[in-house]
Amino acid sequence: MTRFPIVLLDYDGTLAETRPAILRSLAVALKECDVPPPPLEELAQELARGATLGELFRTLMPGSTAEQEQHFIAAYRNHYPAADQEETFLFDGAAEMIEGLHRLGIKPVILSNKHRPFVDASLERFGLTGRVAAVLGSEPSQPAKPDARVMTDRVLPLFPGAAIEDFLMVGDTVTDIRFAQAAGIAVCWVSYGHGLEQACRGLKPNFEISDVRDLLKLVG
């Protein structure tokens, strides 16, 4: 029997290197909203938190209105697909790792705070759509990580009869770790992703890997 029959996989910074496309789209969207883009290093620090687009905008623009936030999100989503096509790539071994989970009888589930259509488009482009059991991305009126309701309201209904002990969350940011801990499931931090080392290690994840391929050794 495998250690974790269901593996929840973050996308950005866990399966794919999306940082260049995200940072490029953020800078363009902020400029379109007449907000001077902060240095790329500052944007990267915010990205490392694993926040949603709205949370990121509110951090960069405290006191902003809901209308300004929606304008920013729309501008970002308008520019991101082209940037994603041109600059995003899977980490070495990511596709093979998902195939390996299948061979072990493990169900991989994409669990991301990224806009669902963007996740779907990337998975299709990389030939992974049919290789995952489910895709859960950011959707209107749905909770997002680190909210524990993601587990109770969105994940568990997909797997009737599954126990909390059956799940492993794999992600690169404090948001992934905090979600798993709030939901009561094990978590593996990937040190090669976007997260900040000190902050992520400080939360004491159950496991840590430095290469996506090492996940197979952990769960097998």
pLDDT band for 42, please (50, 70, 90 cuts).
confident
**Which CATH topology does 6-17+89-219 take?**
Rossmann fold (3.40.50)
pLDDT for the residue 142: 94
Alpha carbon distance 197, 114 (integer Å) = 22
Per-residue model confidence (pLDDT) at position 2:
67
Question: Hey, what are 114's tokens?
Answer: 């990224």
Nearest partner of 183 among 164, 200, 198, 211, judged by Cα: 164
Q: Are 112 and 11 in contact (CB under 8 A)?
A: yes
**Tens digit of each residue's pLDDT (9 = 90 or more) over 91-109:** 999 999 999 999 999 999 9
Relative to beta strand 16-17, strand 89-90 is: antiparallel
Length of the chain: 220
Read off the pLDDT band of 122 (50, 70, 90).
Answer: very high
CA–CA dist 121, 117 (Å, integer): 6
Q: Which helix (H) or strand (E) holds 62?
A: none
Q: Domain map of the chain by residue range?
A: 6-17+89-219, 19-87
* 3-state secondary structure (DSSP) of residue 6: strand
Decide if domain 19-87 falls under CATH 2.30.110.
no
pLDDT, tens digit, 9 for 90 and up, residues 169-196: 999 999 999 999 999 999 999 999 999 9
